[in-house]
Amino acid sequence: MQFITQPFGEARLGEFLLGHLADPQWTIFRAAIAFVKRSGTQYVRQALREFSGRAQVRISVGIDLYGTSREGLSDLLEATAGGQLFVYRNNGPYTFHPKVYVFKSPRRADVLVGSGNLTGGGLFTNYEAFLAASLDLAMPEDAAFLQIVEATLNVWSQPQQGVCYALTPELLEQLVASGLVRSEAELAAMQQARTPAPQPATAPPTAGSPSGETMAPAAAPLFISVVVPRPPTIAAPQVETVEAEIVAEAAESASAAVIPPPGIVPLQVGGASCFVMILQNTDVGVGQTTKGTARRSPEVFIPLAALDQNPAFWTFPDLFTADVRWNNTHPASRRNGFGKMDRMKVPIRIGVIQSVRMSFGPRKGDFRLGNEALRSAGKVGDILLVRRVDPVNGFEYDIQVAPQGSPLFEQLAPFCNTQVANSPKRFGYF
């Protein structure tokens, strides 16, 4: 028996599932899960797809309280093409709320029961707890215990008119049409509508205030934010390529804004959700190539004019940290009052989610995105497309390169309408 906790435990639910899905000893995977969203399925769909190609899969999912999204179910359908996927709902004032995960082989079984759903938070970043039991099926007590668990899972994955149905693409569309299941964009809009605007803190007036009294300092907040470990980098899934192709195909007929990949919840900042820029040699070249010299750091250069035009798009300066040592060494090197500042390990999807360093350098007058995959993604003249997305996706930006001559390039080119002084580089927001 093992007690698993997250987000600070060594093995969170996500690591448990990924490790077991990759282990060839397991021949059966079963689960009953209350809520499923793409923020979680994006981490396991490739591993689940490979597992279902060689073993049995049987999963039951709840669709209550709008906790499960269309994209989450679609991902599971695609990843379990050779298995069985069910939706379970009691239409009364009740909620299908279990979180049970079972891996089985002829001799062993691992059973995990806890609080984590198949969402990004449930897998990695929420505070969750689980009991994991490792069973030896040669032991009568262990075999009897597994039979109890499997009997319950059987009830939840047995077609029953009005309660439990095998999920198909056609049924998924019916669930969406009926309003029982919604897209993640719709769910985000619902959440935003339910969330009240923050109210400014007030304090009783005292002597010296506009009413003749002095304002007392506002009370410290009751709760603070604590950074938790990030989810792991996602192994390159084939579906990402499919999503990119959908964007390109949509661009052929679209006449307005670029259509985001399916399931991505965009975020508009400063009146814009996208940034575009025509790449130049400094963004894609290797820099110094003289024998015996070091290769230049893998960085893409964003013009300071672009940063100035919409700093909030880049979370600047709010989420950046000053480089105190550098600033103390170069006290005169400041721009608009800011010295050198960095934001480390920004989660950005460049095909897969990766950590990107954002750097503001007043001395050289540039703003940089540091990442090898990003720098290697394009060629001179291609267009860099940076989408700002809601962190609910599991990342903050989605980056794609539109090659010259592609339909997406033709759609994006008119938005590159701001010329950088003394440079062929052009950029724009929309």
Residue 307 and residue 326 in contact, taking contact as beta carbons nearer than 8 Å: no
pLDDT tier at 276, thresholds 50, 70, 90: very high
Nearby residues of 147 by Cβ (< 8 Å), 6 or more positions away: none
Q: Is the model's pLDDT at 294 over the cut of 50?
A: no
Domain boundary among 185, 206, 225: 185
Q: Does residue 29 sit in helix, strand or coil?
A: strand
Q: Name the token pair of 368.
A: 């940089």
**Of 11, 5, 70, 75, whose CA–CA distance to 44 is shortest?**
75
Q: What is residue 411's predicted lDDT score, i.e. its pLDDT?
A: 85
> What confidence category does residue 321 fall into, taking pLDDT thresholds of 50, 70 and 90?
very high
Q: What is the mean pLDDT of residues 252-270?
A: 58
Q: Are residues 267 and 373 in the same domain?
A: yes
Domain boundary among 185, 219, 253: 185
User: According to the model, what pLDDT value does residue 282 have?
Assistant: 81
Number of structural domains found in the chain: 2
Asked if residue 170 and residue 46 are part of one domain, the reply reads: yes
Q: Which residues contact 151 (CB under 8 A, 6 or more apart)?
A: none
**Confidence band (pLDDT; 50, 70, 90) for 109?**
very high
- Out of 185, 219, 254, a domain closes at 185
Residue 202 lies in a domain: no
Q: Is residue 279 domain-shared with residue 412, that is, in the same domain?
A: yes
> 118: helix, coil or strand?
strand
- Note whether residue 262 is domain-resident: yes
Residue with tokens 């993640």: 184
Report the range of poorest mean pLDDT among 248-252, 305-309, 336-340: 248-252
Confidence of residue 113 (pLDDT cuts 50, 70, 90): very high
226 within domain boundaries: no
Please give the Cα distance from 306 to 366 (Å, whole number).
Answer: 10
Strand, helix or coil for residue 386: strand
Phi, psi dihedrals of residue 429, rounded to the nearest 5°: -120, 150
Question: What mean pLDDT is predicted for residues 105-114?
Answer: 96
Q: To which residue do tokens 């934001």 refer?
A: 343
pLDDT on residue 248: 34
| Backbone torsion region of residue 274, taken as left when φ is above 0, otherwise alpha when ψ lies between -120 and 50, otherwise beta | beta
**DSSP category for residue 222:** S
pLDDT tens track for 327-377? 888 888 888 888 899 999 999 988 778 889 999 988 777 899 988 878 777
Structure tokens at 8: 């600070």
As a 3-state breakdown, the chain gives helix, strand, coil percent values, each rounded to 5, of 30, 30, 40
pLDDT bracket for residue 247 (50, 70, 90)? very low
Mean pLDDT of the region 83-101: 93
Quote the tokens at residue 152.
Answer: 């319950």
Mean pLDDT of 274-283: 89
Report whether 305 contacts 276 (CB < 8 A): no
CB-CB contact of 174 with 98 (8 Å): no
Identify the CATH number of the domain in which residue 60 sits. 3.30.870.10
What does the alpha-carbon distance between residue 367 and residue 361 come to, in Å, rounded to a whole number? Answer: 6
Q: How far is CA 132 from the centre of its chain?
A: 27
Q: Are 229 and 345 in contact (CB under 8 A)?
A: no
Q: How far apart are CA 125 and CA 422, in angstroms?
A: 45
pLDDT at 218: 54
Residue with tokens 């009413």: 211
Question: Does residue 206 lie within any of the structural domains?
Answer: no
Q: Are residues 246 and 178 in the same domain?
A: no
Asked if 158 and 306 sit in the same domain, the reply is: no
* Banded pLDDT at 302 (limits 50, 70, 90): very high
Q: Are residues 305 and 390 in the same domain?
A: yes
pTM over 0.85: no
Question: Which residue intervals of 288-426 are DSSP H helices?
Answer: 304-309, 324-329, 372-375, 407-412
More confident residue, 296 or 380: 380
Bigger pLDDT: 37 vs 354: 37
In a domain, 220, yes or no: no
Alpha carbons within 13 angstroms on the beta-carbon side of residue 334 total: 11
Instruction: Give the SS3 label for residue 302.
Output: strand
CA atoms within 13 A on the CB side of 321: 8
CB 31 within 8 A of CB 114: no
Do 56 and 153 belong to one domain? yes
CATH of the domain at 262: 2.40.330.30
Q: Where in the sequence is the domain holding 353, given as residue range(s)?
A: 238-429
What element of type H or E holds 215? strand 213-215
Residue 50 clears pLDDT 80, i.e. is over it: yes
d(CA 318, CA 316): 5
255-260 long-range contacts, Cβ below 8 Å, gap at least 24? 257/430, 258/385, 258/387, 258/408, 258/411, 258/412, 260/387, 260/389, 260/398
For residues 156 and 242, state if they share a domain.
Answer: no
Residue 233 lies in a domain: no
- pLDDT tier, 210 (very low <50, low <70, confident <90, very high otherwise): very low
Strands 383-388, 274-278: parallel, antiparallel or unpaired by DSSP?
Answer: antiparallel
